[in-house]
Every structure is written in structure tokens, then in C-alpha cells.
Chain A
Amino acid sequence: MTTPEPEPLPDATGHFGRFGGRFLPEALIAPLDELTEAWRSARADDGFRGELDRMLREYAGAPSLLYDATRLSDVAGARILLKREDLNHTGAHKVRNVLGQALLTKSMGKPRVIAETGAGQHGVAAATACAYLDLECVVYMGEIDTQRQALNVVRMRMLGAEVIPVKSGSRTLKDAINEALRDWVTNVDHTHYLLGTAAGAHPFPAMVRDFCRGIGDEARAQSLELLGRLPDAACACVGGGSNAIGLFTAFVPDRDVQLWGFEPGGDGFETGRHAATITQGDVGVLHGARSFLLQDKDGQTIESHSISAGLDYPGVGPEHAYLAETGRARYRPVSDADAMAAFSLLSRTEGIIPAIESAHAVAGALDLAKELSASMSDPVILVCLSGRGDKDMDTAATWFGFAGEEGDDHE
């Protein structure tokens, strides 16, 4: 793996331009400082890095494959490379972040981890890392989500985690984050908050980015090996934005590589039922950082909607806000319908059932393929396939009308 170059951003106080920073109670500032320091020294510590690399290799399956998706490419009209994060242990890129933060928790001498989860994917990943590293794990999950994602609640409990249903507010992901923050401020002397995405107060956006940047570092090296050059575009879905920032970071200095983030467009803007924070939101403060968010005229958070529970969040990581504002990365919405069409297409052309989150990136790449093919010869598009779709079978069955059909397993 390449040695990461020193990052120009965020600045010393956690700002990406006008975004980021720390908007949390003073009680958490000293713990955030402690975490920043622990993470800085861990990054510089060969022992920590070696141990994390070993865990990622031997336990999580890194580096993940870069797969030349030829049948999908035929349909798309451009060459599409899939970064197969879906093949990682636990089935998503998130294992990179949870192993990093869990190991950091150990190095800080804290025995207890708390996490928030929406669909349950980050909760399962956190519970996995805690089982592996012998840490106590408590996961906050909106009560509505515990009902929608009952199977993942069972998985977390199988892994030894305690799952606490959150009954306040909208009883979804944002309220689970609120409740985790309340737990953290109360128990911070012995507890690490293992945040699931590259958002929140400094140092979380930068720290989670760095734990996820292996996605892009690996894909960049793999592209050079496979193609002898870099791809023309790198694409990822963006909810909170951890897989996208993990992919983009290696390519940010490569000005010829276009960076594309695809946001959950839900039912469409006109319906108000979406989670396209950057393309439709406004600048504000939520969960500890200044970024784009979905809010009403009075600054109250608006509930988001996406068919993909993992993208269903009214905020977005501050570095994405910065990349969007500076134009280095571009962001577009992808509707539920387009994401599900791509979900089906990838399943049937490549035998790969993606997470619905990742299907947003595939759908966005299909549109991009048409545009790039018009302006350049033989474009290559790198897509982060951030997770696998096993968890989404109920949603898919309902969407495609498979639910309730009997007997077609004998065909």
C-alpha cells in the first residue's frame, strides 16, 4: 500500500473550508481532543498501522478485488470497473472503519463502544469488530428501524451487542445519533463513540475518511496495474459519505479523474421525499458539523426518504460539502426507480446483487457512461460497489413484485 501523503484538509480545527468544525456541547470537546490526539499518534505508529493492515488483510479480506464488469460494460457503452467492497467481511466497506476505530478504542484503553445504526449495517459491522476485539458494544437504533430491519437486530445480538431501540423524535437514524451522543457525553470516560460515517464533529470526518481511504488507494493502484492508466471517472453513492470519501481521497490530486457522488433522489424532489442533501439541501449545522442538510425554514431537520435505508440521512459529511462547493467532485441525485433498475441490471448481467446503496452508484455510472462516451474515446468508469444486497431482499421482493409469489423456485 502507498504511504498516505499528508492531508491539507481539514485544518487544525477540523474545517474543510467553511464546513466541518465542532458544534457539540463543551463537555465533549475534551474527549474529542483526546480522540484527535489518539488518532494522530496511531497514524504515526507503525505498530498500530501494521496491526490494522493485518486485520484488514487476514480478517476483512482487503484488498478487495477490482473487477472488470464486461457484460455490464456492454450494456453501458463504457468500460466499468467495480471495486468489490461487497466481498469484504460483513459485506460492505464499513468493516474498514469499524476495525480502525475499534482498534483505536483498544489503544485508548476504553472497554466500551457505542454506535448508531439506521438499516443496521453499521451496527452489525460495529458489533462484529467489538466481538473480534473483545469490546462491549451498545447500538442505538431508531425504533422504527428495529422493526423494519429485524434481521439485523438479531445479527447484532448474535454478535453479543446490546441493541437499544430509540423512541424519541422521528425514531430513525438521526434520533439514534442523538441518543448515542447523549450516551457518549454521560459515559465518555470509558466509552468510544464509533460513528459510522465520515460526518460529525472533528476528528470524525477526517478519521473515518482515513480508515476508509484504502478503497481508493487500492483501486488507484489496481487501475494502474490493469489499465496502465487511471480511470476517467470514479463514482460512489453518498449518504453520510464514507465509501465515497474513501474512494475519492486517493484521486483528489488526479485532476483528470472526475469524481462523482450519487445521492438518494428518492421519489423525486417535487415530492419532498428524498435524501439528496447536497443537491437539494442548504448549509447548516447538524450532529456536530457545518455541512449541507435537509431543513425547514426554521432550521428544524426534515426527515429524509430513500429506498435505501443506508442512504436515508438528512445530513452529509462536511468534506463532501467542500468538494461540492469547490467543484472538485460533482453530485447528482439518483431516484429510487433508477437505483432499482440498476440493481436488477447488475444482478442479471454480472451475477452480482449489490446493496441498494451501491446500486445508486451503478445507476449514476450508467448515465455518466453515455455522457463520457460522447466526449471521449473508450472511457473507463470506476464504481465503488460498497456493499452486497443480501440485506435488501425484502425491499427488492416488494419493489419487483416477487413478494407472495409461490413456486417459482422450481422453475
Chain B
Amino acid sequence: MSRIGDSFARVRADGRALLVGYLPAGFPSYAGCIDALRAMVDGGVELIEVGFPYSDPVMDGPTIQAAAERALAGGLRTHDVLRTVEAAAELAPTVVMTYWNPIERYGVDEFARDLAAAGGSGLITPDLIPDEAAEWVAASDEQGLDRIFLVSPSSTDRRIALTARACRGFLYAASVMGVTGARAQPSRQAAALVGRVRAATDLPVGLGLGVSNGAQAAEVAGYADAVIVGSAFVRRLLDAPDADMGVRAVEALAEDLAGGVRRELPAAPTG
């Protein structure tokens, strides 16, 4: 079983959800990102998503767009992303969330090889659907990497089944129709979507988009296997007056969220 598989097995045994934290590599700086990832893990994040900043991030809202722009303006290159993974994987199991073109440009086989060598566990691919992923499926099989594809409230049951068959590690359920970013509350569509996924697969289901505090994390943990938080962490760093305060704010948020995924809630239907 992969490192991610081990993580899910452990939290399932504990009867709670896994906490996943996202930050783009190179944001707020190369070293600053790694400092913030360490604070995240100290605060209770158990799986790291390193974002690969990209010039045209169509699935991201303004917060993550701003972070990606800053990372690219700072001169971030593909090998910096891989070095960030290397540092992150020392802290916790690590996956890369990336739009597809930078991977294709690097070479799919080459990226899979170098990601595995850096200790990365796999890729989350927001604009690569299984239908277009033959090369990545082969490369990830070759390197033993996990493949996390997304489903959304608009996905048909047929597509959920197809996507689940292509996934390894876990499956990423996007909670709403929309882009990344904090929302007042997780949508009602989210629990229904997770229920539909459970009907199709035994794979763990992580829920992302819109979770920004412990209370929301607790609610999502009531029906999903992982709670994925990105924009809220980025926001802490964007708003901080200096690097130290940013890192402390990230750790505080991680603690709040980690409390959330452990909170006892009235039993929620899991489909």
C-alpha cells in the first residue's frame, strides 16, 4: 500500500477524516513555502498538496491565482517544485496538484520518475480527465505513483464510476460547481456527491473547495474521508504582515482544522 493508503487506513481506524493542506510551491517564496508546510504539519496536516504554479489556472479563484502569480514572478521553475516536494515528503506524504501542460512539457515519464525520486506520492490533476490520461496512467503505474482525478456535482454516475476506476490513492470530490476559494459553508451538493461516489467505489474520498475553518472541517469530516484546505492557508500568508506571522497563522489554522476533523458530530449519512 502507498504512503497515502497507509494514512487513510490509519484515520479510518480512528474513525475520523484525514486533513489535507495545500500551498503552491514558491509561495510566498521558495523557503517560505517549506516553512509554512512545516507549520501546517506541526499544526496537524497529515497529507501535503504542493501546488504547481501555472500561468493559466482556470480552476482557481483569486486567492490561489494571486499566490501562483507571485511564485512565478519570483522565478519558480519545475525543478523548484520537485525540490519542494522533496522537502515536504520528509514532513508528510506529499502529492502535487498540477495543471497538465507543465507536466507534458517536462515529459510525463520524466516527471513521474523525478517525482518518485523526490519522494512524492502522486499527482492531483484538475484539468486532466481519465479519458485523456493514457500516458500518465502508464507512467504512474511504472513508478508506483497515485493518481487523483476529480469528480464534481455535475459528474454523471457513469463518469464517477469511470473516474473512480482510474484513480489510485484517493478520489478528489469538488464540493461545488466553481473555482477554489473560501465559502460561507460547504454546499449541500457536497454530501450528495460523496454519497454517489461511495456507491461507485471503496476508494477514500477527499472533499475540497471552500473549507476554511474547523467547524466546516468537522461538518465535511462527517461524510468524507479527507478534508482538503487550500485557499484558506494561502489567504493566511497573503494577509500576514510578515513571514513569521504568516507561518504562525498557518499553524493556527491547521490546529483549528485538525480539531475539526476529530470532532464528534452527530452521525451523518455516508451513502
Task: Give the interface of A toward B (CB within 8 A).
Answer: 13, 21-31, 168-169, 174-175, 178, 181-182, 185-186, 188-189, 282, 284-288, 295, 297-301
A–B pairs, 28, beta carbons within 8 Å: A13-B131, A21-B131, A21-B132, A22-B132, A23-B132, A24-B58, A24-B127, A25-B127, A26-B151, A26-B163, A31-B154, A169-B65, A182-B58, A182-B179, A185-B179, A186-B177, A188-B177, A189-B177, A285-B101, A285-B127, A287-B56, A295-B105, A299-B54, A299-B78, A299-B104, A299-B105, A300-B54, A301-B55
B106 contacts A299, CB within 8 Å? yes
Given the interface pairs A299-B103, A300-B55, A301-B55, the reply to whether A23 lies near B177 with Cβ below 8 Å is: no
- 6 extra A-B contacts, CB within 8 A, seeds A26-B149, A295-B105: A24-B129, A25-B127, A175-B56, A182-B59, A299-B104, A301-B56
B77 contacts A298, CB within 8 Å? yes
B106 contacts A25, CB within 8 Å? no
A26 contacts B101, CB within 8 Å? no
Most buried by B among A23, A30, A188: A23
Most buried by B among A175, A188, A287, A300: A300
Q: Which residues of A contact B106 (CB under 8 A)?
A: 298-299
Q: Which residues of B contact A288 (CB under 8 A)?
A: 127
A125 to B62, CA, bound (A): 28
With an 8 A cutoff between CB atoms, is B57 at the interface?
Answer: yes
A169 to B70, CA, bound (A): 10
Interface on chain A toward B: helix, strand, loop, or mixed SS? mixed
Most buried by B among A21, A185, A189, A301: A185
B132 contacts A27, CB within 8 Å? no
With an 8 A cutoff between CB atoms, is B5 at the interface?
Answer: no
With an 8 A cutoff between CB atoms, is B69 at the interface?
Answer: yes
Q: Which residues of A contact B132 (CB under 8 A)?
A: 21-23
Q: Which residues of B contact A188 (CB under 8 A)?
A: 154, 177
A298 to B54, CA, bound (A): 9
Q: Which residue of B lies closest to A285 (CB)?
A: B101
| B84-130 at interface with A (beta carbon < 8 Å) | 100-106, 126-129
B56 contacts A169, CB within 8 Å? yes
Size category of the B interface is 35 or more
Partner of A174, one of B56, B78, B126, B149: B56
Q: Which residues of A contact B54 (CB under 8 A)?
A: 299-300
B155 contacts A297, CB within 8 Å? no
Q: Which residues of B contact A178 (CB under 8 A)?
A: 56-58
A208 to B60, CA, bound (A): 27
Q: Which residue of A lies closest to B130 (CB)?
A: A26
Q: Which residue of A lies closest to B178 (CB)?
A: A186
Q: Which residue of B lies closest to A283 (CB)?
A: B104
| B38-58 at interface with A (beta carbon < 8 Å) | 54-58
With an 8 A cutoff between CB atoms, is B174 at the interface?
Answer: yes
Q: Which residues of B contact A189 (CB under 8 A)?
A: 177
Q: Which residues of B contact A182 (CB under 8 A)?
A: 58-59, 61, 178-179
Partner of A27, one of B56, B57, B62, B174: B174
B156 contacts A30, CB within 8 Å? yes
Q: Which residues of A contact B216 (CB under 8 A)?
A: none
**How near does chain B come to A380, taking the closest CB pair, in angstroms?**
41
A188 to B177, CA, bound (A): 8
B129 contacts A285, CB within 8 Å? no
Q: Which residues of B contact A21 (CB under 8 A)?
A: 131-132
Partner of B178, one of A24, A185, A295: A185
With an 8 A cutoff between CB atoms, is B236 at the interface?
Answer: no
**How near does chain A come to B185, taking the closest CB pair, in angstroms?**
16
Q: Which residues of A contact B55 (CB under 8 A)?
A: 169, 300-301
Given the interface pairs A178-B56, A181-B58, A298-B105, the reply to whether A27 lies near B177 with Cβ below 8 Å is: yes
A400 to B154, CA, bound (A): 53
Partner of B129, one of A29, A175, A287, A299: A29
| B130-167 at interface with A (beta carbon < 8 Å) | 131-132, 149-156, 159, 163
By Cβ-Cβ distance, the 3 closest A-B pairs, closest first, are A299-B105, A27-B152, A299-B102
With an 8 A cutoff between CB atoms, is B72 at the interface?
Answer: yes
